[in-house]
Each structure stands twice: as structure tokens, then as C-alpha cells.
Amino acid sequence: MRGMSETPRLMTRTFAHLSDEAVVAMLARSDESALAELYDRFGRVAYGLALRILRDERLAEDAVQEGFLAAWRNADRFIPERGKASTWLLTLVHRRAVDLVRREDRRRAEPLTDGVDAPSSGSAEDDAWLRFERERVQSALKQLPDQQREALELAYYGGFTQSELAERLGEPVGTIKSRMFTGLARLRELLADPRPGEAAWKPTPYTT
């Protein structure tokens, strides 16, 4: 009989109040429920990312699975001082997707808007939130100079290395590096505006 494999009501409520970082801390204690919670929070975004890169549902699911299992195995290496848990997790999934796309040689370089365009079919709340985030990031991307946006998209969604990009675009590697750096730094500023309704997490007293 297992005490941890179910999701009792109290646990659901408790987790709902936990920050992503607190959930990863529980993951580091090999708590399966923490893994389930992380998947419920980020599984869909992670899959969307992997699908954008790999353009194949089976490979995308493989990348998501490997990314989440890497998080499961290495949660004790997560250092909250060095970044958000969501960044850490999405970086792991991204790395698996990029490794796979390079191995399978499936890389293509089409603009983001030509990506997989599946109709979303989730809960209204999920959909609204994801649509909001998507529009926010896409609008920030659109504000970047073309060359910076191109470098970021080809690297992040295309899986090209900086050397491959330099060759492809006929530019010195130094130019590519600088476009990536400036693009990411500018994106950070554009995204820095606080989101409406978002408050910092703090411990929440039990309400029952």
C-alpha cells in the first residue's frame, strides 16, 4: 500500500498554494506527487515547445518525458538562487528537444507563425492563460529588430548552433553571438512589465 501515490484532497490544495520552487524542493525528496504537480503546471507548455521544435507528436512526447525525468533525477541540483524553477524545467525539456532534433536531422527554419497550428482544447481557464502568455511573448518578439528575432528563433525553435547559424546567415560567429545576447537582453526588458494579477507567492494558511 502506498501513501504517496494518490492525490488526496488536502494534498491537492496544499500543492496549489506552493510556489514552483517549493514543488521542486519536494521533487528533490522523490515525491511523486510533486512530479505530477509540475507536469500539470508545465506539461502543456513543454509539449508545445517540443512540438514546435520537433514537428512530430511522438518525438515531442519523448522530449517532454526525458525532460521531466531529468528533473526528477536531478531535482537536488536545482539552485533557487540561480533562477526560477520554471526556467530550469523548460531548459531541461528544451535541451532534450534540441538534442533529438539534431540527432534526427529534422531541423528546418521556418518562422514561428508557420508552426504547428493545432486547435487548443483544454479548460477555458488554461486556454485563456496560455493564450495570454503566448500573445505577450509573441508581441515582445515582434518588437525585436528582425536580425535579433531571427537569431533567437533559429537557435531556440530551430535547434541550430551558433556556428551553424553563422554559416547559414553568412555572418561571422561574433555577430551571431551579439545578436543572441542583445535579443535576449532586450526580450527580458520587454517582458519585465509585471503581469496583471500576479502576486509573489507566500505561505498560505490552511483554510479548512
Partner 1 sequence: MEADALHDLTAAYALNALDAEDAGRYEAHLARCQRCQSELAELSESASALAYAADAPRPSPELRSRILEQARSERPNVVPLRPRWLRPVIAAAAVAACAAIGLGLWASSLSGKLDRTEADLARQQRVAQILAQPGSHKIAFSRGTLVVGADGKGALLLNQLAEPGSGRTYEAWVADGGAPQPAGLFSGGTTVAVPLDQPVRAGATVLVTEEKAGGTEAPSRAPFLIVRNTAQS
* Gap between the Cα atoms of 78 and 99, Å rounded: 21
At closest approach, how far in Å is the CB of 87 from partner 1? 4
At closest approach, how far in Å is the CB of 125 from partner 1? 14
* Gap between the Cα atoms of 28 and 125, Å rounded: 29
Query: Of the two residues 90 and 106, which places its CB atom closer to partner 1 in the complex?
Result: 90
At closest approach, how far in Å is the CB of 154 from partner 1? 9
The separation between the first and the last C-alpha atoms of the chain, rounded to the nearest angstrom, is: 27
What radius of gyration, in Å, describes the C-alpha atoms of the chain?
Answer: 19
At closest approach, how far in Å is the CB of 9 from partner 1? 9
